[in-house]
Amino acid sequence: MAAAFLLLASFALRPGWPLEWIPQLHGYQHFVPLLVLPGPLLALALWRWRDRDALLLFLACLLPQRWFYDSFILWLIPKTRRSIVATVACSWGVGLWRWYHIPHTMQQVGNWCVLGFYIPMLVVVLIRPRSDDPPRQASGDKRAD
């Protein structure tokens, strides 16, 4: 309801904004993570289709994106300290690489973004225990039968 109200209010305040906005799209440089290499691997997220984080990852890889800020939504996926540190290390590696080696095409930007942000998040989603899996017992715990 709020989004519909905001849309109607925007038309009431400035009815011609779509005609001004649409011509701006022709210069929009983007990539779709699923369509650049190794992006097709991201379809493996559907293996965990019941996990909300896996669906978030898959839906994010379908959207057109630019280099950096569009992939921030993926930081909702890691939940443990280990997964956060691992994904930070991967993203910093790609960020430092891009700082010193500026890619010439959006295709190259997409390749590195998928390698540094999306693939590590896919690994986090796939190695995480499923919510329907029984909890693992610690090696020193004994079960009472």
> Whose CA is closest to 114, among 132, 133, 98, 130?
98
For the chain, the domains span 27-127
Tokens of 81: 């300290």
pLDDT by 10s per residue, the chain, length 145: 999 999 999 999 999 988 888 887 777 777 788 888 887 888 888 888 888 989 988 988 888 887 767 788 888 888 889 888 888 887 777 766 666 666 666 666 777 777 778 888 888 888 887 765 555 555 555 555 4
Output the pLDDT for position 145.
46
- The angle that helices 119-127 and 81-100 make with each other, rounded to 10 degrees, is 170
> Whose CA is closest to 87, among 128, 33, 123?
123
Output the pLDDT for position 14.
92
Output the pLDDT for position 135.
53
E strands, 16-125, in order: none
Output the pLDDT for position 139.
57
Output the pLDDT for position 4.
93
N- to C-terminal Cα separation, the chain:
55
Output the pLDDT for position 115.
75
